Structure formats: C-alpha cells, structure tokens
Amino acid sequence: MAGEFLVPVLIWLAIIKVLQLSIWPALDRTLGRLAPAAAYPASVLLFTLVSWYCALSGIPVPLALIPFAAAMIYAGSGRFYTKERLYSSFKWDIAFLIPFLFMLEVRWINPAISSGEKFMDHAILASIMRQPLVPPLDPWYAGGVLDVYYYMGYWMNGALGLLSGAPSTVAFNLALPTVLGLSVVSFYALGHLILDRHRWLPVLALFIPNPSVIYHILIGDSWFDVLWGSTRTIENTINEYPLFSMLWGDVHPHVMSFFNQGFLLFLLVFAYLRWGDLSMKGRGLLCGLTALSLGSMPAFNSWDVLVYAPVTLLFGLMVWRRYGKFGRDERRSWMIFGAVPPLAVLAYLPFYLHLNTPGIGGVGIVPEPSAPLEFLLVHGFFLAILTAYCAPDIRKRPYLLLIAVVPALAGYPAAAIAAIPLIYLIARRRFSVIDTLAILGLLIIIGTEFVYLVDKMGGIYCRMNTVFKFYLPAWFMMATASLAIIGEWSQRFGIDRRIPPRLGKALPALAIILFLVAPFAIGVDFGYGSRTLDGAAYLAGSHPGDAAAIAFLREFPGDQILVEAEGGDYTYYSRVSTFTGIPTIIGMPSHEYMWRGDYGPISERVADVRTIYEQPGRTIDLARTYNATLLYVGDPERERYNVSLPIGALKVIYDADGVQIYQIPL
C-alpha cells in the first residue's frame, strides 16, 4: 500500500526543494548562513501567492512553478550551488525532512478524513483542486464562493497537489507533514538568532505538551482522553497546543499557519539583531519578506494577524529606536514600522477586496475568567520558568508583587498569576528578544482573561474562539522565550559539558531514530487507521457503495452542482461534496452560518433539499433554481428523507451498490 504513494510524495518533496533552491540565492547576501533556512518558508509562501495570482488572472496554476524553476536554473548557471554551499545547507534539509517523515508516518497510520474538522478541510481542498478559481467555490453552498473564509492554507496545499499529481485525498495527508517540516526549519532558524548553543531548543515549542497532559496521565485516562482532555482544560474553551493539533490531524487554518508564525518571528528578531549590518538592498528585501509573511496571515488564519500586526509594529518601533533613535536616519530604520504594513496589504489586496464575511461583532467582557488551576494546567510550565527567570528581580523588589494583587482582588486570579513575571520583565526594562517574546505572550493570555472577541458562538462558549486562536501565538512566544532561557541556564551551568563526547555525538542520531519510531510506538490511529495516505480509503470498508460512487464522481467532467442529503454538522451526510469538491446545495449548515452570518438563506436551502427528494412534482424545477446538475441517492438520503423522485424525467448515469446518481435535465 505504501509503494503506490511513493511517486507523488517524492514529487511533492522535489517541488518544495525546487522552490527552496530558487529563492535561496536571492536571500544569500542578506541572511547569510540562515538564507537556506529562510528560503523554505519564504519560497512556499511566495509560490502560494504566485499560484493564487495565476488563478486570479486565468493562468493555469501549474505554470506558477515556471518563474521558480527559471530562477533556479539562472542561479545554477552562475554556479551558485557549489558543493560547499549545498553541504552547508544540508542541516536545513534534514531539519525539514525528519519532521516531514514523522508526520507522514502519523498520517499513514491515521489517514482517514472522518472526524473533527477533516470533512470541512478536505471539502475546501478538493474544491480548489477540482476548480482552482479565485475565490474558490464553496463546496457546501452551491453558487457561493469562499470569500467568507480564510482559505489560503488550503490553496497552498491544493497548488502543491496539482503540481505533484497527488489526488486531494492524498494531498490532505501531505499537508501537515509539510507544515511541520517548515515550522521546524523556522523555529530552528530562530534558535540560531537567540542562542549560542542548543539552538534546537525553540523547536521543542512544537512538540512539548501542556501540564494538563501529565494530569490526565496521572488520573489514568486512556491515550485518546489524555489528548482530548488536555485541550479542553479551561472550561468552555479550547486550548490546543501544537503537538495535539498535529496528532489530531485537522488540516485547519490555525494549524497551517504554524510555520508562518515561526517565520515571521524569525524575520522580526533578525531585523532587530542585524539591521545595522544590512545594506539598503538587504533592508528592502527583509521588509519584503516580512510583508509577505504578515500579508499572508489574514488569508491563512485571520485571527493570527490580530496578534502579529501589533507585534510587527512593536518590533518595527524597537528597530527604529535601536538604530535610528526615532529619526530619519540614513539606515531607514523606520522601514519595518512604516513600510511593511502597507506592503503586506498590497500583496494580498484582491483577497481583501473579495472578502465578504460578517467578521467580529465587537469586544466583550469575559463573564467568567479561567479557574487558576485550569489556567496553570495550560500555561504552568512556561509560567514556572518565567517566574524562576525573574526570581533575582523578585528578591530585590518584592513590593512589586502588590501590583499582581489588584487583578486578584478584582476577581481575575489567573491573570494575577501571569502578571507576576510580566511585572518584573517590564520593570527590569531590558527588553531583550527573550524578554520581549515572554512579555508579548504573557500580555496575550492575560488579555484573554478580561476580554473576548464577539463571534457567532455566544452563550457559555462566548470566549472559546478567542482563547483557542490567541493561545497558540502566545504558546509560540512564551515557549520560545522559556526554552531559550533553559538554553541559557544549561550553558551557564555547563550541563552539556558533563555529557561524554561520544554520547554527545550519538544523541542526535538516537533522537532522530526515536522520533521516527514514536508514531508506531504510541499508537496514533484513534481507531481509524488504515495504513495508507489516501484519506478516503476507509470508505471502501465502511461505505462501499459511496466509495465507488464518489470515485466515479471525482473523475466526472464539467462544472457540476450536486444535490445530496443535509444532516447537520460533523456528520457523514455531506460526504459526497466533501470527497469530490463538487458544490452541493447546502452542507454542514452551522459552518455556513458561522461564515455567512444569516441563517435565513441557509434554512431555506435545507428545506429545499428536502422538497427536492420528497416532492417529485417540484424536484426538477427546484433543483434548477440552484443550477444543480446531479442528484445523488444513497443510504443517507433514504434515511433522511422519504425519497420520491420523478424517475422518468431524470437520466441515470450511475447505479451500483445501492447508490444512484441522476443527471438533472437543463
């Protein structure tokens, strides 16, 4: 089973390597030895943007690879890719490949598109790969487009899938390996900026669990309950951490953005530390890369930009202050602050012009803050390190602890706990990179104790999305700072010098072996494993009639719109549109309500689908109002409706294993 997917996987990897090689020469003079690392995320982001503009302009998406291939050939003709350069970049290739293989194993063990948000994630990916349009067609709202949602992560993987020849059900399972590989490279490069030794430590931000995992292990929970329970620790919220997100396997926007978050932090820290050493051209290039990264955030996961736009401005001010004293200096130190935001908007301007979403309805006051113990079970590891880091300052000025008493007395004890290291980090006024990242992360988790962004969730789940989406950037910032502090402590106390030299050389190889064996050892199939990279393979066993019919429709040509049963969200009913990418009249209505903000048209479509199946006198005319061309009847349709169709007026194009597909006359 594994051999049949070897070719698309190798082509997928080859495309990413071509992209990296094509961008590396342009970054070399500016980023130096870190250029091959930065070229990985930068090239994928740039390819995503170029392929998107190709589709916007009516140019076939695969042609987006041409300028990258041309750039690589040009650099090669100039003998840029010397043995020495390629050898020096090998560690970055390994940094990408090992986590890619780790996640490839995880997805091979548990490939099924069957739970969580996987139906949604694949439906959008399949829609893009079937018809790469801008904006993409909404697979669950016939006639609508995805101008109501941030879809660029799906576009990235869809474009790679179109180039590699991988079907969408396989591209789905190559997406997270790619994201993890790019994320590791980004955080490893960041480690090279902030640590002299143990530069791999920031990478652990992607792999360490929260303290709640330990709690659930100690109380004897099953492996599944350990993972799930540790991300539902704070009542009525979601508090995912990167390792869970990867193992859970939803190819969702908040996960696909991981690598870009690490990349932007790398660029901002690089600017702060190296701006004075750069040429004017290098500063312009750095601003361009930063704008590319920041501009991609609203299109990948709009919540991220609400955090990283202010973070970018803050680092821009820090650069301007450090190198230009807030003046019009010859180094143009204001460029990060002044030039990056407009360039970021300009890069994705058509995306913003297309955007038609209800968005956020305002800011609300948190009615019930987090319980202190629950808060510590999520953030306790980082808070302990940051508090220990501030211990000398606490001993010198214990009276500053009184400031933390204020939120505690006001009824926000969790915020008071996080305020302790924050107060001392600000009071020391050192504002190093480590201090700044820690401060930013602490401010985020404290802020979410007081306010939340109003969305369609409401009720007891009013702050769920705010905590969910803001905690991940906070995790990356606090984790990077905390792990860098551990690195400094290790170096200061000479812990690594106590390791025998032979063992020190063997440890990296041993770690890689354990890393690659881990997916098989810990069991990550969650009961859905089928040992394949085809996320739809399980249908052949559980729903054989649908499996064959869906395979037929995936190859069915032309612009189609499908009628299938609607059965609410997180159910099997929207499976045909999910696995084919063919738009259906309505699928998973609560998702559509979250995106579109008006339940009236959605409920009307739900009623119309029932009418199409149950009132033969209205079937054809009502289907035509949605420009539907195909009508699907399988077991879920018969379970959901009293199916009665005008058989004589419909053309049967498929009839096997209890499934009939009819063509609706125009």
pLDDT digits (tens, 9 = 90+) for 166-216: 999 999 999 999 999 999 999 999 999 999 988 999 999 999 999 999 999
User: SS in 3 state form for 533-559?
Assistant: CCCCCCHHHHCHHHHHHHHHHHCCCCC
pLDDT of the residue at 511: 75
157: nearest Cα among 255, 24, 290: 255
- Model confidence at 23: pLDDT above 80: yes
Q: What is the pLDDT of residue 598?
A: 86
Read off the pLDDT of residues 377-426 as tens digits, 9 standing for 90 and up.
Answer: 999 999 999 999 999 999 999 999 999 999 999 999 999 999 999 999 99
- CA–CA gap between residue 104 and residue 109 (Å, rounded): 9
Give 327's pLDDT tier (boundaries 50, 70, 90).
confident
Strand 651-656 with 659-663, pairing: antiparallel
pLDDT, position 505: 61
Structure confidence by residue, pLDDT tens digits, 468-486: 999 999 999 999 999 999 9
- The C-alpha atoms of residue 280 and residue 275 are separated, in whole angstroms, by 10
Give the per-residue pLDDT at 331. Answer: 75
Token pair, residue 409, equals 């007395």
How confident is the prediction for the chain on average, in pLDDT?
93
* Residue 41, pLDDT above cutoff 50: yes
Which range is least confidently modeled, 67-81, 327-341, 517-531, 575-589?
A: 517-531
Question: What is the per-residue pLDDT across 206-221, written as a single tens digit (0 to 9) for each?
Answer: 999 999 999 999 999 9
Q: What is the pLDDT of residue 348?
A: 95
Q: Do 150 and 253 form a contact (C-beta atoms < 8 A)?
A: yes
Who wins on pLDDT, 507 or 320? 320
| Helix (H) / strand (E) containing 661 | strand 659-663
What b-and-e string marks burial along 454-479, b requiring 16 or more CB atoms within 10 Å of the CB?
Answer: bbebeeeebbbbbbbbbbbbbbbbbb
Give the pLDDT confidence score for residue 154 in this predicted structure.
97
Asked whether residue 574 carries a pLDDT value surpassing 50, the answer given is: yes
Q: Is the pLDDT of residue 142 over 50?
A: yes
% the chain with pLDDT above 90? 84
Q: What is the pLDDT of residues 52-66, one digit of tens each?
A: 999 999 999 999 999
Q: How far is CA 446 from CA 420, 449, 476, 521, in A?
A: 11, 5, 15, 38
C-beta separation of 242 from 205 below 8 A: yes
CA of 343: how far to CAs of 380, 410, 431, 596, in Å? Answer: 38, 42, 27, 29
Q: Say what the pLDDT of residue 10 is.
A: 96
pLDDT at 522: 72
80-122: pLDDT as tens digits: 999 999 999 999 999 999 999 999 999 999 899 988 899 999 9
Q: What is the pLDDT of residues 610-641, one digit of tens each?
A: 999 999 999 999 999 999 999 999 999 999 99
What's the pLDDT at 497?
Answer: 66
- The residues with which 663 forms a beta bridge, in sequence order, are 630, 651
Note the pTM of the prediction, 2 decimals. Answer: 0.95
d(CA 652, CA 661): 6
Please name the residue ranges forming H helices in 32-151: 35-56, 65-77, 83-88, 90-109, 118-130
Tell me the C-alpha distance between 402 and 183, whole Å: 40
Confidence band, pLDDT 50/70/90 cuts, at residue 1: very low
8 Å CB contact between 470 and 444: yes
Give the pLDDT confidence score for residue 609 in this predicted structure: 97
Nearest to 319 by CA among 291, 289, 288, 287: 287
Q: Does pLDDT of 314 surpass 80? A: yes
| Mean of pLDDT values over 322-346 | 89
